[in-house]
Amino acid sequence: MAAGLRAVRRWGLVATAPGLAFTRSASVVKNASNAQPNWLGVGLAFGTSAALWAFLVKEHNEDVMEYERRKRERGHKCTGCS
């Protein structure tokens, strides 16, 4: 009889208040193991960061070169070029 009552409660066949129904979390929390770090994740994190910084520095250098080129063109006041 007790097993039947548990099944009825589990499947929500008993009328209960909406907020008091039996709920179960979908996430499972486990203790972090600091003895064995996730080296793949660490490598991916640092590798991604290094790649983004390299891209940022490359783009910055290209932008500076374009700025200098436009600044030189703006300062050129030759009448023979027009």
Q: Look up tokens 């996730």; give the residue.
A: 38
- pLDDT value at residue 14: 54
- More confidently predicted of 2 and 72: 72
∠ Cα 61 63 69 (to 5°): 105
- pTM of the predicted model, to two decimals? 0.51
Does the pLDDT of residue 17 top 80, yes or no?
A: no
**Per-residue model confidence (pLDDT) at position 41:** 96
pLDDT band at 29 (very low <50, low <70, confident <90, very high): confident
Query: Which amino acid is present at 26?
Result: A
